[in-house]
Structure 1
């Protein structure tokens, strides 16, 4: 039986205890906004996507020393590209370090958020997973830190409910189901599939990979980080920072490689991917396989993948790449079309009999904040406002939605660098909004200060982003990707490099915001406020004996460490 509801009053409700939610909460304490916040997390632990995704081979495609918070570095990464267990251990350690668990309500799902424009208060309704009871939270501010990769996207295939075997999504991996010796189908061939397939190939009787379109794949060049380098990064922090800056520089250069399709570096990237394919799947007998694995669109149109073992896995005798369209799923098989029978006027079916189906089909990335119900009393819901495609001012705030912000929102994804760079920049920005609301006391007649972006400022920012994106490879009509909506609008990705976004959100122009309630006039009179962004790229070193010593010790190490990583971008 469900327990009775309970009520809580707090300054800020944060939805999600992944990297975004954790960063925002920590910054609240670091930047002087206090610790009067509650984090709502539907899972059983912190980590977000790195808690949800536990499939075999799961790892990050960003270098480990870039995939960590600037204020909480990890000198003990064991690989150049971190695995899911190692990332999750790191995030758990960060949560312990900043004592976040006492603020988190685990196994709790947000059902909806409603804003009262009179009082300036948000009411968030949640459902507890332990007893099914409901609770309400009242706050001055709500921040969605759900991200873009939280709701699994299942394929819409006739007959999925009829399958007698096991179906699971990669983001909802069932560790209790033993795939050893099984016949396994993998639907999808994107970033997740290329990590799963090599692991399944080691244990399954057979693996069939269903591909709609091929991807550009470049070498991963992964390797272990030896203990002596970990020792150096721990006790010579300047060397670690310099290494991180070197990685940042390489990744930012990668943006130019992607957008300059006529440039030598872009062609070099394409040549590298082609060489990897021909080297790992050689021979005349594999010419047809290489052909169906070669994209007919420019690199960057879809996410560029990295792997050292996907192609070799496809070359194994018990692994099959199937490019024919799936017709349906039967009780025991995935049925595809082997051709069109003109006499019968129908597809000729071919069955792949399998014991299990893995859906490596990504997430509902274009359906931001789904399935949350978010509204301001007496106005349209956020879902209605975004019916033509999600948009937000600087990817964070939405017109007519006061005291509400989004982490990793519309047009803030990156295809070339670490998303943590964006998350930290957004956290600093949103914390300034929270500060403005927190520091203005409630007025008995006007409620709390209410802040929302002007529609004109939002449209101007969004139009600028879309204009830039329209000239990039992301807008190419030669491929389809989760970057684009059904109408072709790019709602997920940022239009420039990470540094440009950091600069763009390192200030607030209060003229771009609707300000109502106590403190509005004073805030408006300040005009623009600015702060120093976190600088990650290489900077001229300040000459001092301590820094010079650290750098001199690390120079040889950096040369050894960075050289193969730079090769993984451009030869």
Structure 2
């Protein structure tokens, strides 16, 4: 995952200017999911000013929600600014990582792909004192098992493997899926296809997006007035955090308000179509699956060349798809699979072997878990970003990634500190600590909307166990990993001594990035009114944006605990 890998590398280089660091990237450049996913309409459903590093905020976003091209340009610029190209090896995939008990180090075997890169050898092995996994979850496309797929004579493509050489004009196209990706593809494809059929298995809750262009005046203000930029991000974060209860507590007032907002949005965009209202209304709680943010998804189904298909697929034929109850197939030229990613095998296809040769597959037994979502039993000197139960559904994942990166780098610092004294250190989370942590976490998760049995999602496995999501807010998670408690780890040095333990305190405080604002919106408005004319303009523009973009979210946050003094943590 590009955000995680870049963040971990930058954090390490900040404190180790001449550190020995290798970044292995299987692709040909930085960008990760925003390099792989290039389908029509591809964009982010998190505010652009939040979907960026806190230490590298971008005042030049062109839209409230960034598109794929803009995000890729941002990531490339960050990689260049922090000189990451010096440390990366592109077209290089990690095949196996094996802990060497004698050396107290990792033996990492990689495979080199791509033309010129592979001319000098197909692979090699390196040793490292610490291994950080940043592979993420959303990178291996999930292909549904549908009978007859191999017989189709037309084109089948996954949304994450879009083929732009294939012309869409005048084609009969089927899109399988109605999640966030499909909601972005469908409106764009409908503009050029002769006919588009959308295959819906279960409807999603669709929230108004209210995207808009960020004016040059506002970009100028954010570029030159740092307090304005900080406040804008803080207000965005507050709005997002307040959304947490709506998507986790099915019976809460905020969840009820969310239903009202989404249904009103549907009725407004599909006037006089109660037949579609019924089909598009989910039977599960808001938050059970990822909500869709869109202003143009529903209106697409009012087009004459668009059909909604809710029957299940019997099989794929040479010419198209045979739906249940049909006697003859429906012909298609192209079938688009907007079916998501393989999300339950976090390290796939990387093979990891920890202490005593135990593989990660053996350790997990099909149920991924990690201490605070970061470290794993029997896997020494290892940390993972975007690991089990760290996914957010209401806010920017970058807020979690930065916190995890800080935590992992504190562990790396400890290992390198001991190495500077001529020894090797191994750190492994204690089994009882992991079990206690995950037991409490799963108890909490069972009470959330994520566990609603009326829907399936990529957040939980076939047994209903939630392996992907974090139960609390982004701030809750930041606080969780703001300290490294050393007694939670088995600590062993090469000579068996405990000099490391004696040199250190019981815990190491890392802190967190505190981005909350303690000034109310009304106070800031009053201050802005006294500024120069372009600041006055910004106040008017911001007030208008609150009335449109944030109206529903702020409505949900009016009594949020986020605003209570007890949630205001140290600066």
TM-score (norm 2): 0.91
| Structure 1 position 570, deviation (Å) | 5.6
Give the counterpart of 2:501 among 516, 524, 539. Answer: 524
Q: 2:11 corresponds to which residue?
A: 27
SS at match of 1:423: helix
Change (3 A) 1:549 1:295: closer
Deviation at 1:563, TM superposition (A): 3.0
Supply the distance in 2 between the matched residues of 1:23 and 1:365 (Cα, whole angstroms).
22
**TM-superposed deviation, 1:305:** 1.0
2:565 equivalent in structure 1: none
| Aligned match of 1:184 | 173
What is the CA distance between 1:42 and its match in structure 2?
0.9
- Deviation track 1:97-147 (CA, whole Å, cap 9, x = no partner) reads 011112111111111111111211111111111227112121111111011
- Find the counterpart in structure 1 of residue 563 from structure 2: none
Extract unaligned runs of 5+ from structure 2: 556-571
Alpha carbons 2:173, 2:195 under 8 Å: kept? yes
- Cross-structure match for 2:305: 318
For 1:243 and 1:490, how far apart are their aligned partners in 2? 33
Partner of 1:480: 456
1:143 aligns with 2:142: no
2:561 — aligned with what? none
Q: Is the 8 A contact 2:143 2:158 kept in 1?
A: yes
Look up the match of 1:535. 514
Indicate the residue corresponding to 1:438 in structure 2.
Answer: 416
Conserved? CA contact 1:333–1:351, under 8 Å: yes
Distance in 2 between residues matched to 1:103 and 1:316, nearest whole Å: 50
1:275 counterpart = 2:252: no
Give 1:258 shift: 2.2
The RMSD of aligned alpha carbons is 2.0
Contact kept? 1:33, 1:435, Cα under 8 Å: no
How far the C-alpha of 1:31 sits from its partner, in A, is 3.1
Query: Is 1:491 paired with 2:470?
Result: no
Q: Is the 8 A contact 1:220 1:568 kept in 2?
A: no
Aligned counterparts, 1:94-105, within 5 A: 94-105=78-89
Are the counterparts in 1 of residues 99 and 107 from structure 2 also a CA contact under 8 Å? yes
Instruction: Give the stretch that moved more between structures: 256-265 or 81-90.
Output: 256-265
Write out aligned runs for 1:86-101 (5 A): 86-101=70-85
Q: Distance in 2 between matches of 1:336 and 1:457?
A: 50
* Superposition TM-score, scaled by structure 1 size: 0.91
**Paired residue secondary structure (2:187):** helix
- SS in structure 1 at match of 2:174: strand
Q: Which residue of 1 aligns with 2:322?
A: 335
Q: Hey, what does 1:264 align to over in structure 2? A: 253
CA contact (8 A) 1:442 1:449 kept: no
Between Structure 1 and Structure 2, the one with more strand by share is: 1
Is the CA contact (8 Å cut-off) linking 1:112 and 1:374 kept in structure 2? yes
Q: Tell me how far apart the structure 1 counterparts of residues 420 and 79 of structure 2 sit (CA, whole Å).
A: 32
> CA separation in 2, counterparts of 1:549 and 1:223?
22
Residue of structure 2 aligned with 1:289, choices 276, 279, 294 = 276
d(CA) in 2 for partners of 1:191 and 1:252? 20
Alpha carbons of 1:292 and 1:142: their partners in 2 closer, same or farther (altered >3 Å)?
A: same
Of 440, 443, 446, the residue aligned with 1:464 is 440
SS of the counterpart of 2:27? coil
Q: Determine if contact 1:163/1:329 at 8 Å carries over to the other structure.
A: yes
| Structure 2 residue corresponding to 1:355, chosen from 333, 339, 345 | 333
Question: Is residue 383 of structure 1 aligned with residue 361 of structure 2?
Answer: yes
- Deviations, residues 474-526 of structure 1 (Å, cap 9, x unaligned): 11111111110111110000010000100010001000001111597233342
1:62-93 Cα distance to aligned partner (Å, 9 max, x none): 00011110000100000000001001100000
How much has 1:33 moved relative to structure 2?
Answer: 6.7
Checking the alignment, whether the CA contact within 8 Å between 1:269 and 1:570 is kept in structure 2 is no
From 394, 397, 405, the equivalent of 1:416 is 394
Q: How many residues align?
A: 538
Between 1:19-28 and 1:180-189, the stretch displaced more is: 180-189
Aligned to 1:200: 189
Output the CA distance in 1 between the equivalents of 2:190 and 2:263: 23
Q: Which residues in structure 2 correspond to 1:206-217 (within 5 Å)? A: 206-217=195-206
Pairing 1:153-172 to 2, within 5 Å after superposition = 153-172=142-161
Is 2:379 aligned against 1:401? yes
Match of 2:566 in 1: none
1:241–1:352 distance in 2 versus 1, CA, 3 Å: same
- SS of corresponding position for 2:66: coil
CA distance in 2, matches of 1:163, 1:359: 14
For the 8 Å contact 1:246–1:562, the answer to whether it is kept is no
Q: 1: distance between equivalents of 2:427 and 2:450?
A: 33
Distance in 2 of aligned mates of 1:388 and 1:112: 19
